[in-house]
Structure 1
Amino acid sequence: MVVITMPGSERLDALLLPAGLLVLTYGAWRVLFAAPIPYRLEKEPSSDKDGQPRLRKVPLPRPESTLWLWGNTLDTDKHHSHRYHDWLKDESERVGWRPWLLSMTGERPVIVLSTPEAFDDVLQKQSDIFEKGPLKRELMRDFLGDGIVSVDGELWRLQRKRTTHLLMAPSVFPFMAEVVEAQTHKFCAVVDALVAQQRSASLKKLLNSLTSDIFGHIGFGVDMRSLESDTSSMTLHPFMEAQEQAGVLLQARMQQPRWMWKLKRFLNIGSEKHGRKQINVMYSIVHDIILKCMARDPSTPRKDFLSVFLAQEQEREQKLDTTVVRDMAVTMFSAGQNTTAETMSWFIVMMNRYPAVAAKIRAEITDKLPALARANHAGVAASDVPVPSLDEVQELMYLEACLRESMRLNGMALNSRQAMKDTMLSDGTFLHYDVTFTFPVKGPLEVQPAHAA
């Protein structure tokens, strides 16, 4: 996890600290007295008169750095904000992978779960009890509206149904392949230009630009023009700039006590003021695109997601709510563009860390796609090398395994759920209604790069 800062926000945040002290008294009362204390049931060595094992309530452990009133706020902000995933893993390992409590100033403690059995309880056996919950929805709604990532229940099922119908449309997959091939050629042309000019560039930014152009075409039918052959003029589309800054706002919220970012939002200052402007820009652009799609001649077929979705809704004679369409479009674009760019970036990092694995990938390409390998050895410009077809790519099984392993090795965004009623996990951990918990990542501890084979 990275530390997020906003230009000029440091002074404003400092001014908010005195106001935060006023909230601290209420927060301390809520955490120490109003909030139920989570516990775990453990068997005692002795039995009762009926021969049944006695059970005792055991408070869940906390980090050794936990302070009265402040909880883990100061420790995480000062020492662990840059390694939050690793710190959660370290604490989980320290307590033997049992559930433990994470406390932030003015908030109820969050229970950290880290075993496959607990994941199974939450995500499968008792999935009807555990939802994203009002806290997570409030955190994300300004950014993603009522998209599938930020809703629960019937609205989530409706969004999932719409998304499934959209992805199953016969024209979607061939169109995606066509767009990926065209944008890959453009990406290679940019790389060729950088090589010819002997210039360095951020590969992460290039991959972000590539995925922006791909998902701009696939999602909206819009050319974002983030990748240009003239690398000196490479700029982000206004939608992409606004989306990136809105994402910064979301990260900033995740690293602050809830009362702080809500107070800044109410006062319209600091990171919340800047982020709100960017969200309005993003929503305005998408709304204009939706109106243009709705005004197009229906006899002219379009293959982008937005046009296909609008056509499907019109065929079903559904009344279109532009806000619902906007939220769905923004969510699908953000999820697809960000995850693809991050996956590709981490994969390149992993190939540099493990050259033996990279050598095996090259050997597989030479064996399965000899024409591509010959063009590479002959020094043909990257933009002149034909992009492999989908059928050819499916032959590269070791490459696919390495991509999957890279996704597993590098931590995803933290997942969290909220209990909608009192319940108990299979390990005896009792969860009160409204308690929030999160999942760290520990799987990579037992994985070796060679396992990709």
Structure 2
Amino acid sequence: MVAPLLLSFLLPLLFFFFFFFFFFIFTKTPTSSSTPSIKLPRAYPLVGSFFAVFVNRHRRLEWLSDILQVSPNATFTLHRLFGQAQVFTANPAVVQHILKTQFHIYQKGDPFRSALSDFLGDGIFNADGESWKFQRQVSSHEFSTKSLRKFVETVVDAELSDRLTPVLNTAATACSVLDFQDVLQRFAFDNVCKIAFGYDPAYLSPSFGQSKFAKAFEDAVRISSLRFQSLVPIFWKLKKFLDIGSEKRLRIAVAEVRGYAKNIIDEKKNELQTNSSIASVDLLSRFLSSGHSDEDFVTDIIISFILAGQDTTSAALTWFFWLLPKYPQVEDRILEEICNKSEDFGYDEVKNLTYTHAALCESMRLYPPVPVDGKQAVADDVLPDGTVVRKGERVAYHPYAMGRMEGIWGKDWAEFRPERWLESGDDAAAKWRFVGRDNYTYPVFQAGPRICLGKEMAFLQMKRMVAGILKRFRVVPAAAEGVEPKFVQYMTAKMEGGFPVRIEARRAQG
């Protein structure tokens, strides 16, 4: 019964699409007058620019970035199926408008929530209003100076010395190839679970064993992201209704993640009841101690926190370590800075790694962990550049494109040059002084009221890892020379197929 109904719906739809597809193929599309090689998609009745999106579906991120480079005011309206529209922008003034000035108008919205709700539920990344405010308020305690110092000097240090260094030593001795993206994800996963749950999954180990929780988490992230990127969302919704294909795999993965998380929540509740005087030292304890006993809600919060802590830092470091061998002068300056610090690398030493901080900022400019982020308008609005936004339309800011804007970064925007973030220091003790960009020009950590709470924690973790790794090892990409890895977009950026590297031990600094 279901199959005939499905065919009666799909066949006319497919005929309709094929008719317009051939019309699109044999119709010339306009090009930008300033950059003739970049075609601006033509919009047709009913289908909008669907076929232009379809043709560029395997490089959608780069395609939209190219369009924004040549669009007036770096803002472009993409027309979708059946009269829907989405605005993309790489204009800092527009970014400030949607993330701060008119923050109350631009929310997560129904398209985002419907695509990600099975996985993220009502967690902070999928919430608006009072629920978002409450989660942000409780989470903010996790990022005090005291907590950050403890994170760097205990959690990250232990993971680095007890697990990562032995793994890299073994790889260097055996001259074996490692998937460094996988190593970095495992490292970050262990760290965030310790912070979020007060629980150590020991996912990074010499055996590189699989964790059902970590594997299910990765599957849930990937499939949920593909939902959000779907050109025709009704297809994934139909697959969900029929419980087939990727939607069936998503249901199984989410059940594994949530079941695992709930077991840890139960253990934490018992721990708090057994010893009511225990300090709320991890995020889970804080939320349970705040009076919220709804297990589903607490699970949502923890899943969002793991997503933020694992995927963003590992994505940023993957591309950082890929860029570094291409620019040996940058690596030399980082090493010089690291070797001038004490061997202990405590919180204060890590915090003052100025050149390393600039190099990480520069890497994330070119390869932002979240390359595109969007909101939905809950009321009609007009953007600063004059673009009209109707209620219900989506507006997305594009950090990937913004990092490539000549008008922001200059003609050398394609160069990996940390010095663009630095000025000479005031005295011999401070060789460099960091000069940041405002959050709307560089929205890698979002901006406005929703700016990332974990920004400083992320930088401290990344700088400590860079210092710990580079002082002892060289990370050498194992791919053939000239082969460029593919930047793929899920909820966060990934390197398609992993990041194969060889590890070489450095000679002791004498």
- Structure 1 Cα separation of the partners of residues 145 and 138 of structure 2: 11
| CA shift for structure 1 position 190 | 0.7
Which structure 2 segments of 5+ residues have no match?
Answer: 18-38, 423-510
| CA shift for structure 1 position 166 | 4.0
Which structure 1 segments of 5+ residues have no match?
Answer: 1-14, 28-61, 373-386
Query: Aligned letter for 2:106?
Result: F
| CA shift for structure 1 position 401 | 1.4
Query: Aligned letter for 1:217?
Result: K
| CA shift for structure 1 position 304 | 2.9
Query: Aligned letter for 1:451?
Result: R
Tell me whether 1:451 sits opposite 2:446 in the alignment.
Answer: no
Structure 2 counterpart of 1:344, from 317, 331, 348: 317
* Mapped contact 1:419–1:431 kept (Cα < 8 A): yes
| CA shift for structure 1 position 319 | 4.5
The equivalent of 1:130 in structure 2 is 106
Equivalences, count: 380
Structure 2 counterpart of 1:360, from 333, 336, 346: 333
TM-score normalised by the chain length of structure 1: 0.77
* Mapped contact 1:175–1:303 kept (Cα < 8 A): no
* Mapped contact 2:56–2:63 kept (Cα < 8 A): no
The equivalent of 2:53 in structure 1 is 76
- Structure 1 Cα separation of the partners of residues 121 and 85 of structure 2: 27
| CA shift for structure 1 position 170 | 5.1
Cα distance change on mapping 1:319 and 1:148 into 2, 3 Å: closer
The equivalent of 1:54 in structure 2 is none
The equivalent of 1:271 in structure 2 is 246
- Structure 2 Cα separation of the partners of residues 172 and 292 of structure 1: 25
3-state SS of the aligned residue for 1:201?
Answer: strand
- Structure 2 Cα separation of the partners of residues 194 and 410 of structure 1: 27
Structure 1 counterpart of 2:351, from 389, 394, 403: 394
| CA shift for structure 1 position 302 | 6.4
Cα distance change on mapping 1:16 and 1:107 into 2, 3 Å: farther
TM-score normalised by the chain length of structure 2: 0.69
Cα distance change on mapping 1:173 and 1:422 into 2, 3 Å: same
Structure 2 counterpart of 1:196, from 149, 160, 173: 173
* Mapped contact 2:152–2:346 kept (Cα < 8 A): no
| CA shift for structure 1 position 25 | 10
* Mapped contact 1:176–1:218 kept (Cα < 8 A): no
Tell me whether 1:307 sits opposite 2:280 in the alignment.
Answer: no
Cα distance change on mapping 1:308 and 1:124 into 2, 3 Å: closer
* Mapped contact 1:245–1:275 kept (Cα < 8 A): yes
Query: Aligned letter for 1:354?
Result: Y
3-state SS of the aligned residue for 2:177?
Answer: coil
- Structure 2 Cα separation of the partners of residues 276 and 399 of structure 1: 41
Provide the identity percentage. Answer: 29
The equivalent of 2:377 in structure 1 is 419
- Structure 2 Cα separation of the partners of residues 171 and 124 of structure 1: 28
Tell me whether 1:331 sits opposite 2:304 in the alignment.
Answer: yes
Query: Aligned letter for 1:274?
Result: R
RMSD, matched Cα: 2.7
3-state SS of the aligned residue for 1:97?
Answer: helix
| CA shift for structure 1 position 169 | 9.2
Q: Higher mean Cα deviation, 204-213 or 300-309? A: 300-309
Tell me whether 1:235 sits opposite 2:209 in the alignment.
Answer: yes
Q: Higher mean Cα deviation, 217-226 or 286-295? A: 217-226
3-state SS of the aligned residue for 1:416?
Answer: strand
3-state SS of the aligned residue for 1:75?
Answer: helix
The equivalent of 2:389 in structure 1 is 431
Q: Higher mean Cα deviation, 432-441 or 146-155? A: 432-441
Structure 2 counterpart of 1:287, from 262, 267, 287: 262
| CA shift for structure 1 position 181 | 0.6
3-state SS of the aligned residue for 2:396?
Answer: strand
* Mapped contact 1:421–1:432 kept (Cα < 8 A): yes
